[in-house]
Amino acid sequence: MLRIALFIATNIAILLIFSIAARIFGLDQWIYQATGTNYGALLVWCAMFGFGGSIVSLLMSKMIAKRTMGVQVIDQPQNQTEAWLLETVRRQSEAVGIKMPEVGIFPDHAANAFATGASRNSSLVAVSKGLLQRFDEKSVEAVIGHEIAHVANGDMVTMSLLQGVLNTFVLLFSRIVGNIVDRAVFKNEDGNGIGSFLASLVAQVLFGILASVIVNWFSRYREYRADEGGAQLAGKNNMIQALRNLQREHMPAHMSDQLAAFGIQHSNVKNLFATHPPLEKRIENLEQRM
């Protein structure tokens, strides 16, 4: 969940910064004069900004993850646990044919892990202290395998492409809403006054949240593949055991938004925004497909 939440939040923030900067420096006005109500031309500009925001989010993903989560990258192992962690990541990355990711540990009591990065060969795999302290080595190896599978499958890049498409339409529709509000409420004939700008920003946030439903649906789909990849790297039984460990450690009624290595959310109210499928479905998928 962590990498997806950070990516979505960064993406929305960057789009807002782009929009505000475009207004301040007059680019917004220039685009309006160049496109007017020509939505085809406006779509092209929105695509440029939309994919630009997504690409910047992807490029910044490692840096933001390190700073936000307090990740301490292991350059030289200081103890046996760090040495084992580096060796496990090295062995698994070689098995799937990717360059050795950066490896780090972050201070979280919850059993947690994530992978992020701009490409398969420029990635970061990080695990929490809680995961290392309470899970046995075979379960930790399975969790790492799950994250390595995300990297090998190119999930962050694929997610960025999807987010770029969604950004395009978020910007387009928010601009249309802003234009309508400016004309109808603020009686601005050209529909490009301050009312349009403010309404566009509000619509951009709202449409961005709605777009995250699609991103999270895609994320849930990719989790099954990452589980299968983790099972291939660390063993099916170990992958299933890791998921069962999470079930025992976190009862559904007490699961929070910042949960665990696979960040599952069981609340029906939050299902649309869940980044991962329920643990029982993931276990069932491994038992049936492998």
Catalytic pick from 82, 102, 141, 147?
147
CA distance 219 to 121: 21
What residues are paired with 115 via a beta bridge? 125
**264 — phi, psi (to 5°)?**
-75, 145
Look at strands 122-128 and 102-106 and give their pairing: parallel
User: Order of strands, edge to edge, in the sheet holding 122-128?
Assistant: 72-73, 102-106, 122-128, 113-119
Distances (CA, A) of 1 to 25, 96, 115: 36, 23, 10
253 neighbors 199 (Cβ within 8 angstroms) = no
Displacement of CA 278 from its chain's centroid (Å): 18
Look at strands 113-119 and 72-73 and give their pairing: unpaired
87 is catalytic: no
137 neighbors 111 (Cβ within 8 angstroms) = no
Q: What is the CA radius of gyration of the chain?
A: 21
Active site residues: 147
